[in-house]
Amino acid sequence: MVVRLGGYARISLDKDGEELGVERQRVDYRTVAAVRRWTIARDYIDNDVSAFKLDVVREQFEQLLADLESGVIDGVIAYDLDRLVRQPWDLERLIRIYETRPGLVFSTVTNDINLSTDDGLTMARVMVAFANKSSRDTARRVKRKHRELADSGKNGGGFPPFGWKEDRLTVDPVQAALITKAHDDLLAGTRLSTIVREWQAKNVQTSRKTGKPITRVAVKGILINPRLAGFRAVKHQKHIGPDGKPVMGVWEPICTPERLDAVIAALEGVRAQHKTANQSNNHKYLLSGILRCAECGTRMIANMRSSWKEGSKGSRFTYRCPAANDGGCGKVSRAGEPLDRHIINLIHDAEAKLKAPAPDTAEWSGAARLAEVGQEISELISAMNAKRISAATAIAMLEPLEKERDELEYERNRHTVEQVKASAATVDLSEEFERLPIERQRAVIMKHIRAIVVHPAGRGARKFNPDLLDVVWTA
């Protein structure tokens, strides 16, 4: 369903040195509307009219209220609440309409208020009361300044971002190498927490240099920073400029946009995958969860042998069916190390048989179309902003294009991930397997083996016997 909004913009004569021009307000709310896929059915522009003065009638504001009430529009979008109302009385009129027509949209560029919640209503009343007293708002001016910096692709303030030198323009080769390696690892299936541990072990520090171990949140933020691919980011999101395109920064990028998207997809994909494949994604042992007890079918778990010390005989750990109170039968167990070695040998053989099918290095076929669609979208938005075509027309044309772009981008990310995975899964196993992190070893195993059923070994049977295993292969 098309959501038709009224866009409201106003400029007043009370000079506080930072008024946003009407055109600027319009560009901003249209950008927000385009992103949310709302249609601007009509612009309501009050020029040079103070919302303070009680005796001034704001014609367009009145029209907006009337259209909202009669259902000509489905909601309002403005730059901020200040533009729209400054008098408590006007706010109450607006609120009454929102109460009588549930489902109306209310949005502002600064996202400062939501009239559809009780808290939002209270906030709005407080804000209008304050705005009514004082029109000067330093915070907004500062925000505006940031926004202008962002539009021009210039750097904001604060600490230099990880990956760049103090000048925030030149790549720091050491930090960039860490990022690139972490991206390679993530795309090949390494878990984020493994990378976090690696960085902590190397005492990697953010530019704040707190001396404390770097956190998971910080590492993730660094690895998916839009800035890496040259995008100007605001609050960790790509900043979209007035032309509807992401604003590019003036600094040296560290990776391509495609690679950044693939990393983000990998981080999200891995999370989803773990949820379905395994209850827990924190496996310390190669085969826990893959082994099943032949007696009761329960997934076997691994335990360190408490009696084991350096120099002791036998395996350091044991796989066992959990005890009855943990959902198993507790009847089957097996020494861990010989079992792991046996399975690794089976995997080497299986991989050798596969003879490493050459990774599909075919170029993704949709690239040209994606570029075309991006160009069309940007032309439409420019045309709309320059008023060469009406907003309604532009947005009707934008919607299918944006949908196609999203689908193409999704497809491209999948393609990138598949390619990297294909080349990662065909590493020379005999060389590399032992050095892979445990979750990647497990991934290689699960590529071939669905489950391994472990039969009871019987009393006194000390030697590892592969005949007591049923391996269920994936194909």
Query: Tokens 């290689």 label which residue?
Result: 444
d(Cα 38, Cα 4) in Å, to the nearest integer? Answer: 6
| Complex with Zn ion: residue 178 or 332, whichever CB lies closer | 332
Say how far residue 339 (Cα) sits from the centre of its chain: 39
Q: Which amino acid is at 19?
A: E
Residues in contact with Zn ion, shown as a per-residue x/- string from 315 to 334 under the rule CB under 5 A: ------x------xx-----
Smallest separation (angstroms) from Zn ion to the CB of 307: 23
d(Cα 211, Cα 362) in Å, to the nearest integer? Answer: 45
| Complex with Zn ion: residue 15 or 459, whichever CB lies closer | 459
331: closest CA among 297, 363, 354? 297
| Complex with Zn ion: residue 123 or 329, whichever CB lies closer | 329
- With beta carbons less than 8 A apart as the criterion, state whether 415 and 359 touch: no
Smallest separation (angstroms) from Zn ion to the CB of 293: 3
264: closest CA among 232, 220, 329, 214? 220
Smallest separation (angstroms) from Zn ion to the CB of 367: 52
CA dihedral (79, 85, 88, 93) in degrees, to 10, reads -110
| Complex with Zn ion: residue 3 or 296, whichever CB lies closer | 296
Residues in contact with Zn ion, shown as a per-residue x/- string from 34 to 73 under the rule CB under 5 A: ----------------------------------------
DSSP 134-166: ----HHHHHHHHHHHHHHTT---SSSPPTTB-T
Smallest separation (angstroms) from Zn ion to the CB of 459: 17
Residue nearest to Zn ion (CB): 293
The CA-atom distances, in angstroms, between 256 and each of 57, 170, 225 are 53, 16, 12
- With beta carbons less than 8 A apart as the criterion, state whether 177 and 171 touch: no
Smallest separation (angstroms) from Zn ion to the CB of 335: 17
Smallest separation (angstroms) from Zn ion to the CB of 300: 8
- With beta carbons less than 8 A apart as the criterion, state whether 179 and 221 touch: no
Query: Tokens 């004082």 label which residue?
Result: 134
Phi and psi at residue 143, in whole multiples of 5°?
-60, -45
Q: Which residues contact 388 (CB under 8 A, 6 or more apart)?
A: none
The CA-atom distances, in angstroms, between 239 and each of 104, 150, 222 are 27, 7, 17
| Complex with Zn ion: residue 198 or 295, whichever CB lies closer | 295
Within 10 angstroms of residue 300's Cβ, the number of other Cβ atoms is: 25
Smallest separation (angstroms) from Zn ion to the CB of 445: 21
| Complex with Zn ion: residue 298 or 378, whichever CB lies closer | 298
DSSP 8-class letter at 389: S
Count of residues interacting with Zn ion (CB under 5 A): 7
Residues in contact with Zn ion, shown as a per-residue x/- string from 127 to 156 under the rule CB under 5 A: ------------------------------
Residues in contact with Zn ion, shown as a per-residue x/- string from 291 to 320 under the rule CB under 5 A: --x-xx-x----------------------
Residues in contact with Zn ion, shown as a per-residue x/- string from 343 to 382 under the rule CB under 5 A: ----------------------------------------
For 247, left (φ over 0), alpha (ψ -120 to 50), or beta? Answer: beta
Smallest separation (angstroms) from Zn ion to the CB of 176: 51
Smallest separation (angstroms) from Zn ion to the CB of 324: 9
Smallest separation (angstroms) from Zn ion to the CB of 454: 9
Smallest separation (angstroms) from Zn ion to the CB of 470: 14
| Complex with Zn ion: residue 43 or 295, whichever CB lies closer | 295
417: closest CA among 370, 372, 359? 359
| Complex with Zn ion: residue 84 or 291, whichever CB lies closer | 291
d(Cα 189, Cα 193) in Å, to the nearest integer? Answer: 12
For 320, left (φ over 0), alpha (ψ -120 to 50), or beta? Answer: beta
| Complex with Zn ion: residue 29 or 319, whichever CB lies closer | 319
| Complex with Zn ion: residue 151 or 295, whichever CB lies closer | 295
Rg (CA), the chain: 30
Q: Which residues in 381-400 contact Zn ion (CB under 5 A)?
A: none
User: Counting contacts by CB under 5 A, is residue 453 touching Zn ion?
Assistant: no
| Complex with Zn ion: residue 120 or 322, whichever CB lies closer | 322
Query: Tokens 């981008």 label which residue?
Result: 409
Residues in contact with Zn ion, shown as a per-residue x/- string from 235 to 274 under the rule CB under 5 A: ----------------------------------------
- Interacting residues toward Zn ion by CB under 5 A: 293, 295-296, 298, 321, 328-329
